[in-house]
Amino acid sequence: MHFATTLAAAMFALGAQAAFPVASLEFQSWEQCEIGFSVHGEPKFKADVTATPLTCDKTTVDRDWSINNYAFKAFIDTKDALLCSGVTIWNSDDCSGEPWSFVPFDGKPVVEGVCLPDSLDPGFVSFKLDCFGFPGGAGGP
């Protein structure tokens, strides 16, 4: 179960009335995939992170010799996240600088990203849910 799903369930159990968008994201490392097309099979590595409009979650960029490509898969964890445009991704540890990629939801609860080239700098990728009505949320880059 995703952390965000557990968090949402705990908030519901406590009687939380506030609506809050939460999504999960898989950061996938691939040995090889066709750039710009959907990925198939199992990635070599994957990291699960939570994305909200108010937090910046991060994970490390795996620099294994066999990694040549990356992809992302996004899951909407709360119904309020359906109102968000997607997840913005940076090649930094603090959601700063120029965004590296964007995974749009397009009204779907699960979105498979496409194969991306190995153009990430060593270090981190960070994530933030892009929603209208939240600080920094303009509905997508």
pLDDT greater than 50 at residue 139: no
Domain count, the chain: 1
| 135 pLDDT tier (thresholds 50, 70, 90) | low
Which pLDDT tens digit goes with each residue over 32-91? 999 999 999 999 999 999 999 999 999 999 778 889 999 999 999 999 998 899 999 999
pLDDT greater than 80 at residue 131: yes
Which pLDDT tens digit goes with each residue over 93-123? 999 999 999 999 988 999 998 999 988 888 8
| Cα–Cα dist 60/71, whole Å | 14
Does the residue 88 lie in any domain?
yes
Which pLDDT tens digit goes with each residue over 5-29? 444 444 443 334 457 999 999 999 9
**Predicted TM-score (pTM) above 0.85:** no
The predicted structure's pLDDT at residue 132: 80
The predicted structure's pLDDT at residue 136: 57
Name the CA dihedral angle for 123, 127, 93, 117, rounded to a multiple of 10 degrees: 30
Does the residue 138 lie in any domain?
no
What residues contact residue 57 under an 8 Å CB cut-off, 6+ apart?
49, 50, 51, 126, 127, 128
User: Which residues constitute the domain of residue 83?
Assistant: 21-130
Does the residue 137 lie in any domain?
no
Does the residue 1 lie in any domain?
no
Does the residue 35 lie in any domain?
yes
Q: Tell me the two tokens of residue 132.
A: 């209208």
Does the residue 2 lie in any domain?
no
